[in-house]
Amino acid sequence: MLPNRAILLVTSVLLAAAFVSAAEFHAPAAERFPTAGESAAVLPGGRILLPWGKQLETGPAAAAIAISPKGIAATADTGAERPGVTVIEPPVRLVWRVHHLWTRSSAGSAPLKGEAEWQSVAAGLAFESERALWVSEGANGRIRLIDTQSGDRRKLIQLPSGATSGPLALDGARHLLCALDAGTAALHIIDTRTGRLLARLALDAPPVALSLDAAAGTLWIAHASPTGSVTAVDLRDPAAPAIVDRTETGGRPSAILAAAGRVFVSDAAPEADGDSVVVISPSTPASTPASTRASTPASTRAIVSRIALRIPQLQELRGIAPAGLAFDPAAKWLLVAEPGINAVAAIDLGPADPVILGHIPAAWMPVAVSVFGDRVFILNQRGRGGAPSLLRLPIFDYGEPPVTGGGSVTTFVMPPAGEFARLTATVLEANGFTSDVHTAGTPPAAMPASMPAAPRHVVLITTEPRTYDEYFGDILRVGNTEVAGAGALARFGLHGTVNGAAGQFSLHDAGVSPNLHHIAQYGAFSDNYYSDDEPTARAEVAALAAHIQRHGIRTTRYESAARFLDDFAALSSTARSSTALSSSDHSSTARSFTTIDLPRPTALSGRFPWEASFAADADLNIGRIVEALSHAPGWDDTVVFITTAGASRGYDHIDASRTPLLVAGPSVKRTYLSRTNAGFASVERTVLELLGLPPLGLRDATASTLRDMFLAPGARRNPTVFTVMEPDKRLFEAP
């Protein structure tokens, strides 16, 4: 029996009151390096994982989950390094049976179970029976029916040219498979007995998610662009499906669920109404005035409410990013995956207004949730935590190759309502949503209480994706502090080795990155900084620049060092300019934010003889930029951040996502090593603190600050100018 609602509300109020005194927020990992584990993990960037329940490993980039009529779970593992399907069978004598059905895309020598033509998996799954599973393949437009034990193909459906097979929904009673197609913005209806395509319905916008109400013969489809919306499709005649309504939701829909006589839509938008669940009536509400009903079509659907997901004391910030939805009919609870805070929200949909019971801690980035009986299954896209990139090299055994850095499924029996206060407290602490979550109860001792005088100009340089060890593995000590480097991996360090391919010479003791090493001594750097994949990293830089621009600060973006240096020289030579980073009127008091995105090696292929040559060229360009800035009159009011756009191309002995971060400028400590576990959200937070601007959202507001890299207010500044250093000339000579 559920406790009285008043008790639940009082519990929520008391829980919120516990955090009223928090004045500043920090990620809880402090200076600990990332670790992976089933019951606890330290994440790159400083958050903690304390998932509740049993953790079962899937393949990488798990993106969809399906449950069979008897409780077998299957996940779609979409990672390019190892796509496939993970099958999880109910436990026998408390032992879960997990096996993987890999595609044939790997170059490894181990025997794989998939057919040669099965080379990709997308976020679309549907069980036809305990042994038969429909799987979307994505861009090739295929949907295959596989045997869940052997992986053998039973049927293969090819959608029309240009189609992209995505999310699936199955009406088993009528033998109908509904498949979304984002490639051509369409819905495909398939007869599962014959494999024949019954109908194709054009949609107004690319779809992102679907939910089938089989009893009503209605399919609900969510669209994220151009603006959020939901389409209702009448499937009573599968050969002639018809759109009966379109409801504008706004925001950024990410998942949809028809249950409990309503339609629920996750809205992950960062705007004011985002981080919410939109509730839609499946038909015209009875409370609608008769005059309104008479003037509107009988099929009109309406938004009846929004369930806001908020964090105590941080209610104005967004970043929970609600995703997958599930409904527990016994408790009448709605479950919402929350990838932004590594949790699942539980919402009581009982007879009165919805009540948020609390949050259940999950593993890294939960994107979907399902309920079978009294058991919950949470699909976590990134699983148990990070891993050294050395371990990502598959070590093939006979049978199934091990996969590290994959996704996971968190499973448990639904907790009673009385557990949610404790579970929610765990989620808040693990995300840094309290002010006293550091191991020692306070930020690191080296952390000053405030920033130095706000600089007028902030520059952010991003270069090609590389790991920390590739550049700085050869830095073993700073003063009396030991640096977490692996010299054997420093192929782009001061004593790099260039291995020539067939017909090429090899270089030894090559100085690939003298400027980055010099800047590390000239300013501050971190050996505990982490970046997401390249597309995400570049999108984060763009979002930061847009946020700064919205607050009236001039932002400028450059895609090459040459263009920046040309503009800088031209502006610096004008009579009224004190710095090329000032506003268009060249006022020395105007503030600015400049991003310089150095080109990727693929954009310059054929220009240099070795891969290390590209790294050396990037190093030289960074040196020239810092040299130009440090010789300008406005240098005293400038801070430069230098990092990479990801860490996807090399090896690191700590974590696959560890990458260099350097900070330079007169207000920055010299020859200083920061040990704070940080990510790009930390750069965002620090840049915004320097410019005196509010945070973007929950993630950067509660990230680890990089304040320890800066001199305390009033401290003697370091105005020394920087002089560029030339890399090893052999790197630019044809072999």
Check which CATH number belongs to the domain holding 627 and give it.
3.40.720.10
Say if residue 264 is in the same domain as residue 145.
Answer: no
User: Considering the domain boundaries, does residue 452 fall inside one?
Assistant: no
pLDDT digits (tens, 9 = 90+) for 42-93: 999 999 999 999 999 999 999 999 999 999 999 999 998 789 999 999 999 8
What's the confidence (pLDDT) of residue 445? Answer: 47
Say if residue 538 is in the same domain as residue 635.
Answer: yes
What's the confidence (pLDDT) of residue 509? Answer: 85
Say if residue 231 is in the same domain as residue 330.
Answer: no
Q: How does residue 112 score in pLDDT terms, banded at 50, 70 and 90?
A: low
Pairing label, strands 142-147, 153-158: antiparallel
Q: Poorest-confidence range of 126-140, 170-184, 185-199, 703-717?
A: 703-717
What's the confidence (pLDDT) of residue 608? Answer: 74
Cis peptide before 226 (omega within 30 of 0): yes
Q: Is the pLDDT confidence value at 480 over 70? A: yes
The C-alpha R_g of the chain, in whole angstroms, comes to 27
Say if residue 12 is in the same domain as residue 125.
Answer: no
First to last CA, the chain: 78
**In the 8-state DSSP scheme, what is residue 169?**
E
Q: Is the pLDDT confidence value at 200 over 50? A: yes
Q: Which of 99, 70, 95 is nearest to 85 (CA)?
A: 99
Say if residue 9 is in the same domain as residue 135.
Answer: no
Q: Poorest-confidence range of 213-222, 307-316, 640-649?
A: 640-649
Say if residue 283 is in the same domain as residue 417.
Answer: yes
Q: Pick from 212, 236, 260: which residue ends a domain?
A: 236
Q: Is the pLDDT confidence value at 382 over 80? A: yes
User: Considering the domain boundaries, does residue 106 fall inside one?
Assistant: yes
User: Considering the domain boundaries, does residue 164 fall inside one?
Assistant: yes
What's the confidence (pLDDT) of residue 293? Answer: 34
Say if residue 48 is in the same domain as residue 72.
Answer: no
Q: Poorest-confidence range of 132-141, 449-458, 464-473, 529-538?
A: 449-458
Q: Is the pLDDT confidence value at 674 over 70? A: yes
Helix pair 514-522, 611-630: axis angle to 10 deg = 40
Q: How does residue 589 score in pLDDT terms, banded at 50, 70 and 90?
A: low
Contacts of 441 (CB under 8 A, 6+ apart): none
Q: Which of 25, 22, 24, 27 is nearest to 704 (CA)?
A: 27
- Quickly count: other Cβ atoms within 10 Å of residue 64's Cβ: 25
In the three-class reduction of DSSP (H, G, I as helix; E, B as strand; rest coil), residue 2 is classed as coil
Q: Is the pLDDT confidence value at 94 over 90? A: no
Partners of residue 710 on adjacent β-strands: 668
pLDDT digits (tens, 9 = 90+) for 314-333: 999 999 999 999 999 999 99
Contacts of 176 (CB under 8 A, 6+ apart): 170, 189, 190, 191, 192, 198, 235, 238
Q: Is the pLDDT confidence value at 351 over 90? A: no
Q: Give this prediction's pTM.
A: 0.89
Domain region containing 48: 1-52+251-394+405-442
For tokens 């928090």, name the residue. Answer: 22
Q: How does residue 590 score in pLDDT terms, banded at 50, 70 and 90?
A: confident
- Quickly count: other Cβ atoms within 10 Å of residue 411's Cβ: 20
Number of domains in the chain: 3
Q: Is the pLDDT confidence value at 296 over 90? A: no
What is the mean pLDDT of the segment spanning 558-572?
90
User: Considering the domain boundaries, does residue 728 fall inside one?
Assistant: no
Say if residue 6 is in the same domain as residue 116.
Answer: no
Q: How does residue 574 score in pLDDT terms, banded at 50, 70 and 90?
A: low
User: Considering the domain boundaries, does residue 198 fall inside one?
Assistant: yes
Q: Which of 514, 521, 450, 429 is nearest to 711 (CA)?
A: 450
CATH number, domain of 150, equals 2.130.10.10
Q: Is the dihedral of CA 335, 212, 278, 288 positive or negative?
A: negative
Side chain identity at residue 440, one-letter code: A
Say if residue 120 is in the same domain as residue 29.
Answer: no
CATH number, domain of 7, equals 2.40.128.630
Q: Pick from 209, 236, 263: which residue ends a domain?
A: 236
Say if residue 59 is in the same domain as residue 13.
Answer: no
Q: How does residue 501 score in pLDDT terms, banded at 50, 70 and 90?
A: low
Contact 558/596 with Cβ under 8 angstroms?
Answer: yes
User: Considering the domain boundaries, does residue 655 fall inside one?
Assistant: yes
What is the mean pLDDT of the segment spanning 686-690?
94
Q: Which two tokens stand for residue 168?
A: 């699936």
**In the 8-state DSSP scheme, what is residue 490?**
-
User: Considering the domain boundaries, does residue 508 fall inside one?
Assistant: no
Residues counted in the chain: 735
User: Considering the domain boundaries, does residue 489 fall inside one?
Assistant: no
| Cα–Cα distance for residue pair 300/292, rounded to 1 Å | 11
| Cα–Cα distance for residue pair 55/39, rounded to 1 Å | 8
Contact 342/49 with Cβ under 8 angstroms?
Answer: yes
What's the confidence (pLDDT) of residue 606? Answer: 57
Q: What percent of the chain has pLDDT over 90?
A: 70
What's the confidence (pLDDT) of residue 298? Answer: 40
For tokens 């520059």, name the residue. Answer: 459
What's the confidence (pLDDT) of residue 394? Answer: 39
Q: How does residue 402 score in pLDDT terms, banded at 50, 70 and 90?
A: very low
What is the mean pLDDT of the segment spanning 570-597?
64
Q: Poorest-confidence range of 344-348, 494-498, 672-676?
A: 494-498
Q: Is the pLDDT confidence value at 3 over 60? A: no
What's the confidence (pLDDT) of residue 504? Answer: 54
Q: How does residue 113 score in pLDDT terms, banded at 50, 70 and 90?
A: low
Task: Tell me the pLDDT of the chain averaged across its residues.
Answer: 86
Say if residue 545 is in the same domain as residue 658.
Answer: yes
What's the confidence (pLDDT) of residue 449? Answer: 57
Say if residue 199 is in the same domain as residue 324.
Answer: no
